[in-house]
Structure 1
Amino acid sequence: MTAKAMPHRIVLALYLAATALPVPAAASEWGCQVLLCASSSNPSWRGMSACHPPMNRLISAMKKPGFDWPTCPEAGTGSPGHERYGDCPEGYRVGSRSDRNSFAGKGDLCVKTVNFCQGNAHGSYISDRQRGCIQRVTMPRPLRSEPYYFDIKNDTSGQTQRHWFSLNR
């Protein structure tokens, strides 16, 4: 375990132990538990037994109608963000499939334009044959293994750090 991960783990363990007393936990306490567990990276929340109850409660609650994400007002984070897709490889840009009605998807492709005849063209004249050389190459955009994130501001430095996490058990 790194020295950087140790203080976070100790703070997390102390907080979870204090809030695990048989007193009914307020919604903000649960939200703070979720925030601390979700932002744990080494190990992730799955590797910390103290995180299993609040995170399993969250996963179960998300399946119910009218779910509201538990928040931690003290941390000022609110609900987490969610980005299903990762970055496209270098040279590609984000694109979308279009359905039959020409409604674009939600950035589910990585796209680039390739000239397959490059080097064979004579001068700057573009013939019909050469136009056929320009093709759109697509690939499915990679899915993130950890699609949820919290942006947490460091009170000392003022900088914000993004903490990615997954809700897979």
Structure 2
Amino acid sequence: MFAKAKSVTVLVAVFLTTAALPTPASGSEWGCEVLLCASSSNPSWRGVPACHPPVARLISAMKKPGFNWPTCPEGGTGSPGYERYAECPEGYQVRSRRDGDGFPRKGDLCIKTVNICQGNAHGLYNSDRQRRCIQSVSISRPLRSEPYFFDIKNDTSGKTERHWFGLHK
């Protein structure tokens, strides 16, 4: 944990030093700035003033047609992943409801099956009664507050670590 915090601190320090220079960032440099800012967790990019310009530039660029995510080849990552929904609560399974045109939405529900008669048993039930006792309960699947992620390989441990981030201010 300490090594991870130390490497992020060193990366942020290098970034802050280079961010103070007046030269405009190339696409790759901008991609590396975005990667460094997005992977900052304590504080998040919102708490690092030097991260505000590259992230604001990113948010602006995302609104334009033909947007391509700036990448950082030196960081070993491409474009980030995106997962809109968080995990379902324990005991629930991911399912999809249908939109107005009948097409399924991708994994927007959490459903679990419950026995509403459990605890009220007085003898044996016939199969119709048992079927009425089993009901599906559904809730909307929670949205992630930070839906974007980069998978970054930790050079010390060799393991890949997922860094979640959001682009809201």
Question: What TM-score, normalized by structure 2, do the two folds share?
Answer: 0.90
Partner in structure 1 of residue 26 of structure 2: 26
Partner in structure 2 of residue 79 of structure 1: 79
Counterpart code for 1:98: R
Gaps of 5+ in 2: none
Deviations 1:96-137 (A, max 9, x none): 1123554221100110011111242744x6432221111110
Partner in structure 2 of residue 129 of structure 1: 129
Structure with greater helix share of residues: 2
When residues 99 and 8 of structure 1 are mapped into structure 2, their CA distance, relative to the original with a 3 A threshold, is closer
Name the Cα RMSD after superposition.
1.9
Q: Say if 1:151 and 1:160, in contact at 8 Å, map to a contact too.
A: yes
Counterpart code for 2:75: A
Report the more deviating stretch, 16-25 or 105-114.
Answer: 16-25
Deviations 1:76-98 (A, max 9, x none): 11000000110111100111112
Counterpart code for 1:130: Q
- Tell me by how many angstroms 1:146 deviates: 0.6
Gaps of 5+ in 1: none
- Tell me by how many angstroms 1:19 deviates: 4.2
Deviations 1:44-91 (A, max 9, x none): 000010111111110111011110000000111100000011011110
Report the more deviating stretch, 107-116 or 4-13.
Answer: 4-13
Q: What pairs with 1:137-156 in structure 2 (closer than 5 Å)?
A: 137-156=137-156
Q: Distance in 2 between matches of 1:138 and 1:129?
A: 22
Report the more deviating stretch, 48-57 or 91-100.
Answer: 91-100
% same residue:
69
> Does residue 48 of structure 2 align to residue 48 of structure 1?
yes
Q: Say if 1:16 and 1:33, in contact at 8 Å, map to a contact too.
A: no
Report the more deviating stretch, 2-11 or 21-30.
Answer: 2-11
Q: Which runs of 4+ in 1 moved over 4 A?
A: none
When residues 102 and 53 of structure 1 are mapped into structure 2, their CA distance, relative to the original with a 3 A threshold, is same
Q: Distance in 1 between matches of 2:17 and 2:166?
A: 23
Report the more deviating stretch, 16-25 or 38-47.
Answer: 16-25
Q: Say if 2:34 and 2:54, in contact at 8 Å, map to a contact too.
A: yes
Partner SS, residue 132 of structure 1: helix
- Tell me by how many angstroms 1:27 deviates: 0.4
When residues 110 and 34 of structure 1 are mapped into structure 2, their CA distance, relative to the original with a 3 A threshold, is same
Partner in structure 1 of residue 58 of structure 2: 58
When residues 50 and 100 of structure 1 are mapped into structure 2, their CA distance, relative to the original with a 3 A threshold, is closer
Partner in structure 2 of residue 110 of structure 1: 110
Partner SS, residue 59 of structure 1: helix
Question: What TM-score, normalized by structure 1, do the two folds share?
Answer: 0.90
